[in-house]
C-alpha cells in the first residue's frame, strides 16, 4: 500500500476516538468504524503531468441509499497544504452522518491561477458522476473549506458552467451542471485582487498569480465577490475580526453583497479571532450554528 494511502487510514483510525470523546457515549466510534468505507487517493484528473486526487469516506448502507455529502477543500494559500493534513476538519461532518469527499488540487508550484478553481470544479463534477457508486445525495451536497479552501469552496459552489472554468474531460458525455445545497466558508478570500497589491498584499496571492499578463483581470475572475447574484445556494461564513492573513473585511463585504442579492446567508464573527486556531468554546459555538444552518435548509434532519 502506498505511504499516503496508509497515512490516510492510520490517521482516520487514530482520530475517531478523539471525536468520540465529545459524544455522550462511545457509540459513535463503533458506528463510524462500521458505517464508513474509506477509498483514498482516487485520481479525478491529470493536468500538467500532475495527478489530482481525492479521498472518499462513503457511508455504508443498503443498495441505492443516498447520503448528504460534504466536499472539503484544504487551505494553504493556493501554494501549500494537503488533504491529509486537513482531515481534522471533516470529522464533525462524519459525526453528523455525512459522506465526505476530501479534495486536493494543483498548487501554485505546479500551475498558477485559475488551475485550482478548475480542479475543484472538476472534483465536484466527479462527485455527481460517481454519486450512485458511493451513495452521494446530489440534492444535499455541501462544499466547505478554510482560507484558500474557503475561497475555493465559494468559487466551486457559486460558479456555473457559463463561467468558463469547467474543462471538458474524456468521461464527459454531456457536461455535468452540478448544483449544491450550501457552502460553509471558513475565513475564505473573497477579493483576490485586494491581496495582490496595496496595504493588504499577501505573498501567497502574488505567488498564485505569478507574472502572468493581465493578472488583475484574472484575480477578478477568481474572486467570489464577482459572482454574487440572486439564486445562489445558502452560504455560511465564519471569520475572526483580527485575522492577520485574510482581512475580516472580505467576510463583511461578502455578507453585505449576499444579503443585498437576497441570498440566504449567515455570518459569524469571532471577536479577537485570528486566522483559525479558535478556542474549544468558539468551535463549539460555530459547529452548533453550522448544524442548525444545515438543518434549517433541509440538508440534515
pTM beyond cutoff 0.85: yes
Q: Domain extents for the chain? A: 3-189+222-296
Which residues of the chain carry a pLDDT beneath 70? 1-32, 62, 170-175
Predicted pLDDT at 190: 98
235-290 confidence digits (pLDDT tens): 999 999 999 999 999 999 999 999 999 999 999 999 999 999 999 999 999 999 99
Q: Determine the pLDDT at residue 70.
A: 98
Query: How much is the pLDDT for 5?
Result: 46
Asked whether the beta carbons of 223 and 253 are under 8 A apart, the reply is no
Q: What confidence score (pLDDT) does residue 14 get? A: 39
Q: How many CB atoms lie within 10 A of CB 279?
A: 11
For 21, the grid coordinates are 470523546
Query: For residue 62, what pLDDT is reported?
Result: 67
Predicted confidence (pLDDT) per residue in 23-46, tens digit: 444 555 556 678 899 999 999 999
Architecture label for domain 3-189+222-296? 3-Layer(aba) Sandwich (3.40)
Amino acid at each position: 500500500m502506498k505511504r499516503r494511502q496508509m497515512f490516510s487510514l492510520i490517521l482516520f483510525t487514530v482520530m475517531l476516538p478523539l471525536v468520540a470523546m465529545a459524544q455522550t457515549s462511545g457509540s459513535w466510534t463503533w458506528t463510524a468504524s462500521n458505517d464508513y468505507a474509506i477509498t483514498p487517493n482516487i485520481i479525478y484528473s491529470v493536468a500538467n503531468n500532475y495527478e489530482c486526487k481525492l479521498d472518499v469516506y462513503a457511508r455504508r448502507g443498503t443498495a441505492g441509499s443516498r447520503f448528504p455529502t460534504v466536499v472539503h477543500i484544504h487551505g494553504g494559500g493556493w501554494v501549500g497544504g494537503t488533504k491529509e493534513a486537513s482531515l481534522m476538519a471533516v470529522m464533525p461532518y462524519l459525526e453528523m452522518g455525512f459522506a465526505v469527499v476530501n479534495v486536493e488540487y494543483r498548487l501554485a508550484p505546479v500551475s498558477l491561477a485559475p488551475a485550482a478553481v478548475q480542479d475543484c470544479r472538476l472534483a465536484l463534477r466527479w462527485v455527481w458522476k460517481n454519486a450512485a457508486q458511493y451513495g452521494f445525495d446530489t440534492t444535499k451536497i455541501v462544499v466547505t473549506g478554510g482560507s484558500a479552501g474557503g475561497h475555493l469552496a465559494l468559487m466551486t459552489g457559486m460558479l456555473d458552467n457559463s463561467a468558463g472554468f469547467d474543462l471538458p474531460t474524456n468521461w464527459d458525455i454531456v457536461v455535468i451542471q452540478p448544483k449544491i445545497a450550501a457552502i460553509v466558508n471558513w475565513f475564505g478570500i473573497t477579493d483576490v485582487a485586494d491581496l495582490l497589491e496595496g496595504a493588504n498584499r499577501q505573498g501567497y496571492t502574488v505567488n498564485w498569480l505569478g507574472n502572468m499578463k493581465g493578472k488583475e483581470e484574472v484575480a477578478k475572475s477568481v474572486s467570489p465577490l464577482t459572482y454574487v447574484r440572486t439564486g445562489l445556494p445558502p452560504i455560511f461564513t465564519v471569520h475572526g475580526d483580527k485575522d492577520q492573513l485574510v482581512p475580516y473585511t472580505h467576510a463583511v463585504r461578502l455578507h453585505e453583497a449576499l444579503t443585498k442579492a437576497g441570498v440566504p446567508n449567515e455570518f459569524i464573527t469571532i471577536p479577537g479571532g485570528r486566522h483559525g486556531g479558535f478556542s474549544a468554546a468558539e468551535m463549539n459555538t460555530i459547529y452548533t450554528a453550522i448544524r442548525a444552518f444545515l438543518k434549517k435548509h433541509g440538508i440534515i434532519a
